[in-house]
Amino acid sequence: MTDMYTKAVNTGLGKTVAAKLGLPRPALLRRHQPGATLTVGPVLLVADAASATTATAVGGVLRGWGLDVTDRFEGSVPDRGPEPTNGHPTHESVAAAEGETRWGAIVLVVSEVARPADASAAVLALPKALKRLAPHGRVVTVSRAAAPGDAPELAAARRGFDGFLRSLAKELRAGATGNGIVLADGIPADHPSARAALRFFLSAKSAFVDGQLLTVGSADAGHVESAQAWERPLEGKVAVVTGAARGIGAAIAKTLARDGATVVCVDVPAAGEGLARTANAVRGTALQLDVTAPDAGERIIEHARTRHGRLDVVVHNAGILRDKLLANMDPARWDSVVAVNVEAQLRINEALLAAAARGDVDGLRIVSLASTSGIAGNRGQTNYGFTKAGVIGHTEATAALLAEHGGTANAVAPGFIETDMTRHIPFVPRQVARRVNSLQQGGQPVDVAEAVAFLASPLAAGVTGQTLRVCGQNMVGR
The predicted pLDDT at position 421 comes to 73
Q: Tell me how far apart the alpha carbons of residues 120 and 161 are, in angstroms, rounded to a whole number.
A: 11
Distance CA(244)–CA(278), nearest Å, equals 7
Whether 29-79+101-216 shares its CATH topology with 227-470 is answered yes
* Mean per-residue pLDDT, 228-234: 84
Scored b (16 or more CB within 10 A) or e, 260-291 reads bbbbbbbbbeebeebbeebbeebebbbbebeb
Helices (H) and strands (E) in the chain, counts: 19, 13
Q: Which residues contact 195 (CB under 8 A, 6 or more apart)?
A: 61, 225, 459
Single out the residue of 208, 182, 203, 179 nearest to residue 193, CA to CA. 182
The residues annotated with a catalytic role in the active site are: 384
Dist CA 457 CA 261 (whole Å): 10
| 84 DSSP assignment | P
Topology of domain 227-470 in CATH is: Rossmann fold (3.40.50)
User: What one-letter code names the amino acid at 172?
Assistant: L
Task: Please state, as a whole number, how many other Cβ atoms lie within 10 Å of the Cβ of residue 78.
Answer: 10
Quick one: average pLDDT of 405-424? 89
- CA gap 476, 373 in Å, rounded: 10
Compute CA distances 169 → 99, 105, 112, 211, 350, whole Å.
Answer: 22, 13, 22, 5, 38
| Residue 20 burial class via C-beta count within 10 angstroms: exposed 0-12, middle 13-18, buried 19 and up | exposed
pLDDT of 476: 66
What does each C-alpha distance from 121 to 47, 54, 86, 118 come to in angstroms? 8, 16, 26, 7
pLDDT band, residue 6 (cuts 50/70/90): confident
- Looking at domain 29-79+101-216, which CATH architecture does it have? 3-Layer(aba) Sandwich (3.40)
Q: What confidence tens digit (pLDDT) does each residue in 295-343 have?
A: 999 999 999 999 999 999 999 999 988 989 999 999 999 999 999 999 9
pTM above 0.85, yes or no: yes
Beta strands (DSSP E) in 78-176 are: 103-109, 133-144
What's residue 88's pLDDT? 45
For residue 114, what pLDDT is reported? 95
Kindly report, residue by residue over 431-458, the tens digit of the pLDDT.
Answer: 777 788 899 899 999 999 999 999 999 9
Residue ranges per domain, the chain? Answer: 29-79+101-216, 227-470
Q: Find out whether 244 and 250 touch, Cβ atoms under 8 Å.
A: yes
